[in-house]
Structure 1
Amino acid sequence: MRFYRKILRISYKDQVTDEEVRAKIQLAIGPHLDLLTIVKRRKLQWYGHVSCSSGLAKTILQGTVKGGRRRGRQRKRREDNIREWTGLEFGKSQRAVESKEKWRKLVAKSSAVPQ
């Protein structure tokens, strides 16, 4: 909120509520997407882009390392995010990427954040 107030040149002494500041920002920049929606869409688009190619990035994305994962709570991997957002297993998502139109529809549907 401090950044929004600085952009609009609103001092804290002016006693303007955060809701009013958000409304003024909404008027100034128009409707925009949530950050989570943008991140999901870009990750899914990148995954589709790399999966269609035959370069080093695809080899690294699909490759595995010998051994197990570390102790404790496991970090989310990129394929965990893909599986969670699309509802498809890794092999099925690879086949879905082959059809660009199907993948674009899946990305649009999966990147939407429920309100």
Structure 2
Amino acid sequence: MEGQNISVKCKVRLLRALVLSIFLYVCETWTLTAELQRRIQTLEMRCYRTILGLSYLSHTSNDQVRTTIQQHIGPYDDLLTIVKEKKLRWYGHVTRSDGLAKTVLQGTVERRRRRGGNRKKWSDNIKEWTKKTFAETQALAQDRNRWRDLVHNSSRRRPDDSTQS
């Protein structure tokens, strides 16, 4: 098997540089539903299991895989935390600017409501993670330092806290 002479730390660095950079491309525009969050976590664990050479038949829990990876590379942010942080940072950036993106972000389109339950909107993620209204987040985003602190604290919550769709 190839790659047996490459350390786990080097493999994780390659994963983050080559695979995750492509995966995270335009992740700021995603609406994170419970299903999408589950898929993101599944991708991350699949990549780590491949790096460690673990089979699903070995019955190794995700917590054990995370612990093993952390022993090799030290503390790290999981993929879902990175996505949330990038999305919150982009929201703050767009809110402070005066461009088309801000107009689109703040605009709404009048239409008939669909049958069934309401779909989760992009802005619902921001409200859910910050625990603030849309108007409060827009005012808070004007101060970069306060927004940066909020982004850091909001994105670091455990994924289990925000898996409702």
The answer, yes or no, to whether TM exceeds 0.5 is yes
Q: Output the TM-score relative to the length of structure 1.
A: 0.78
Given candidates 34, 51, 65, the residue that maps to 1:7 is: 51
1:22 Cα deviation after fit: 4.6
Q: 1:66 aligns with which of 110, 114, 130?
A: 110
**The 10-residue stretch of structure 1 (55-64 or 36-45) with the greater mean CA deviation from structure 2:** 36-45
Structure 2 partner of 1:101: 145
Where do 5+ consecutive residues of structure 2 fail to align?
A: 1-44, 161-165
1:92: which partner in 2? 136
Q: Tell me: CA distance 1:101–1:5, structure 2 relative to 1, closer, same or farther (3 Å).
A: closer
3-state secondary structure, aligned to 2:76: coil
Answer whether contact 1:83 1:89 (CA < 8 A) is retained.
yes
What is the match of residue 4 of structure 2? none
Higher-Rg structure is 1
SS at match of 1:73: coil
Shift of 1:12: 7.5
Instruction: Mark the runs of 5 or more structure 1 residues left unpaired by the alignment.
Output: none
Alpha-carbon deviation of 1:29? 2.8
Q: Does 1:31 align with 2:75?
A: yes
TM-score (ref. length: structure 2):
0.57
Aligned equivalent of 2:88:
44
Provide the residue aligned with 2:156 in structure 1: 112
Q: Structure 1 CA distance, aligned partners of 2:139 and 2:55? A: 54
Q: How far apart are the structure 2 equivalents of 1:4 and 1:37? A: 16
Whether the 8 Å contact between 1:51 and 1:58 is mirrored in structure 2 is yes
CA drift at 1:41? 1.1
2:114 maps to 1:80: no
Counterpart Cα distance in 1 of 2:117 and 2:142: 33
Give the whole-Å Cα distance in 1 for the aligned partners of 2:103 and 2:75. 39
Range with greater deviation from structure 2 (58-67 or 1-10):
1-10
CA distance in 1, matches of 2:56, 2:128: 42
CA 1:29–1:69 in 2, change beyond 3 Å: closer, same or farther? farther
